[in-house]
Amino acid sequence: HVQLVESGGGLVQAGESLTFSCAASGRSFSHYTMGWFRQAPGKERDFVAAITWSTGSSDYADSVKGRFTISRDNAKNTGYLQMNSLKPEDTAVYYCAVHILGSVYMAASYGYWGQGTQVTVSS
């Protein structure tokens, strides 16, 4: 049984930082890409960042480039999302996910999802 457990959300003020972690269990994801998505109320689930487990290469949505950093620890089967200089428009529920097939930028390409963690950024 595959499980992704997220932690690290919360309420912060604009300009502050948060770090998410996403611990995977049930199997090794050393050959898969992990992604982070976010969903604001009334909006679609949008791509935030992705990282390959094997090479560590990463990509980001334009809206978070330079502020967010995705990383992973293969030994711990855990991924991380460091979010700096947070803005009110970053407010959303954040999800980690494991990519299965297709574009890494599309939520439909991911087969395993975390439970979601709320981030609220006040101005």
For the chain, the straight-line distance linking the first and the last C-alpha, in angstroms and rounded, comes to 41
Nearest Cα neighbor of 5 from 78, 76, 110 is 78
Cα torsion at 78, 106, 94, 32 (round to 10°)?
0
Q: Kindly report the CA angle at 25 between 20 and 29, in degrees rounded to 5?
A: 85
- For 86-116, what is each residue's pLDDT tens digit? 999 999 999 999 999 999 999 999 999 999 9
pLDDT at position 44, please? Answer: 96
Q: Is pLDDT above 80 for 19? A: yes
Other beta carbons less than 10 A from residue 6's beta carbon: 21
